[in-house]
Amino acid sequence: MSSLYSYDIHLPSQLDPNRTYPTIFTLHGKGSNEQDMYRVVEPLSGDFIIIGIRGDLPMGGGFQ
């Protein structure tokens, strides 16, 4: 397993540099990537920093 991960960061569109923002880390399931979960938390994107992380565990066939 590598120590480096691929990720996406979404900042609030009206980012105020004088304000602190809570952060949401999203994790995807098998067969998707770091961008897929953004649509689930997008309604919160004005008040949160959202970071989607791509997992790097190799998965074989079968059920998750």
Contact predicate 26/51, CB 8 Å: yes
Are the beta carbons of 34 and 7 closer than 8 angstroms? yes
pLDDT of residue 60: 64
Share of the chain above pLDDT 70, in %: 83
User: Residue ranges of the chain with pLDDT lower than 50?
Assistant: none
| Spatial contact of 8 and 33, defined as CB atoms under 8 Å apart | no
Q: Which pTM does this prediction carry? A: 0.74
